[in-house]
Chains A and B, each alone.
Chain A
Amino acid sequence: MPVVKVLTEGIGELDLTDIAVYRQRDGYRQWERAVRELKSSEVLDIAERSGLRGRGGAGFPTGKKWSFLPAGDKPRYLVCNCDEAEPGTFKDHMLLENVPHLVLEGILLGSYGIGSHHAFIYIRGEFKRGYEIFSRALEAARAAGFVGKNIFGTGYDLEVTIHRGAGAYICGEETALLNSLEGKRGEPRLKPPFPAIAGLYGMPTVVNNVETLAYLVPILRNGPEWFSAVGTERSKGYKIISISGHVRKPGNYEVALGTTVRELIEIAGGLREGRTLRAVQPGGGSSACIFEEHLDLPYDYENMSKAGSMLGSGAFVVFDDTTDFVKCAFNLVRFFAHESCGQCTPCREGGHWLETVLHRFVEGRGLASDLTMMRRVSSTVTGLNLCALGDSIEPFLKSVLQRFPEQFEARVLREVASA
């Protein structure tokens, strides 16, 4: 089976929240090596050569993101994005709760890689347990001298600050996160300037996902080639896939990128007895569905994009033939409309409008004209928004409206439909 144990190694068997256990398994060894033996630029170089791409959703090459920071004396910050809230994604808090030291070591390595002396981790407010576990881990690491002043006697200082979110999906968007971290209203910033130039407190900043940073540890341990040797041409290495929906064994599975969609379904125990596949949402609530014809596609950034969807954060939701796609579309649109910060017009108005209309469909009160409208609106507004949230509202709706029009048509009021 193509399931691997890299970040997930030891989870469920060992108490890796205990710093002693983590250290027995070479924990903080890469951190010590980096600080003692490597230059910042060498860590950046390793990250770049590994082909690691952002595991939070956008899939941007990590080393390249770091390299955008301008040279200079300004303080620079690394922010670990642990505001995981994409519908269908449940990997980051799993890492936070089970391997907090691995996450922290990743944060330390990332900070060192960009030459930062202050890192932040923004933890989703609902992750109370993860927050408590990580806080204890941070204190233990601080007590061991891995965080703070003069680390390993090298003169390198690095502080880590934990910040808890207050319950807004939008704060997972990196600039909204920075605003929230600064104590401002959690809403995305107008770009440019990008965080690399003017991020947290106006300083050069890198925002990386939990999983992305955690992978730095095995990449440093095993070398960048170990990571880039697996995967497909432009999607290198491993990834934790949160598989859910109509499968027998939903859960987090760590695999090499490029594992096929069909294999992923099988890894999660396959479909329930007697059921047939209708669709897969391969990249979280923001992504469009893919269908049977895509089953043998390698699951990687490029192929998901070619199929009209995206890999996103690796939230893989399976839908079988019992699915009511009208309800699913309503549920997702309602979520995004609820989470919209309301700054920009298409997201604020479009999301709410579609939610209202879909609610009528759920109740069997759709109008034929609504179908025309939803097709028109869902194919126009994507790309008009200030941030990615607005562009996340319609892809699922658009794809299922196109694939399963009969499910929507069945909810159109008959007398109106025939009039």
Chain B
Amino acid sequence: MSDLVRPYGDTTGDGMVQVSFTLPLPHDKRAEGAALQLAKKMGMDPALLVHAKAMGPDFTFFVVYGSVTHLVDLREVTVVEREYPLLTAKEVNAAVKRRLRRKLVVVGACIGTDAHTVGIDAILNIKGFAGEKGLEYYREIRVVNLGAQVLVPDLVERARAERADAVLVSQVVTQKDAHVHNTTAMSAAFREAYPAGQVPLLVVGGPRFEEGSASALGVDRIFGRGTTPGEVASYLVDALITRREAGSRADRRSA
């Protein structure tokens, strides 16, 4: 496969895309011209205006098809690849039982004003998500789900009381970057409350987090849209067991 690709309409290399947008203009010939100009500036050439409709007196909605002149260079694409092996529920239970030799404790919550527990529930509740059972289903994981609108100090206190290995926080509905502020406040509170090196694993999830911003937010891992409970469980085993074992082996060697 070539490293250079173009969008595919119905023929290899045709570069066809479709876009729709609204311009704050009344619908007339000039507005249609403006839409085509925008399409051209977006790299669509030739651009075909297939639909234009007035939405009230001051706006017009457009659908434009066209061939983009841009090429995608796959060598310049960077993504965060999954850095841990995916385990089955059985393997997760076995790893916790054999190698941690106690139950793994997970405390979960929606913090801030977010009342949408759908994310945290999808990961924690037995019901689960996408056909996978949630963490409550794992025999060797003890789940404490605090639900919605939990205050950060309460979360920290509960995490300490339960001796949490990991804290899972979900932020679904957010505006004006509330998810970022809430998360940094949460990670700061944990660092303040625990001695260095003993902070539980901090994991946040939600559709609006940027991949790769974990360290900026002060957390260990970010999970995005479509994450399944199995992925989270596998990650917990990797981060809390596999990597710590590797870490302590390395410590012994260097000592």
- Answer yes or no: are A and B bound together in one complex: no
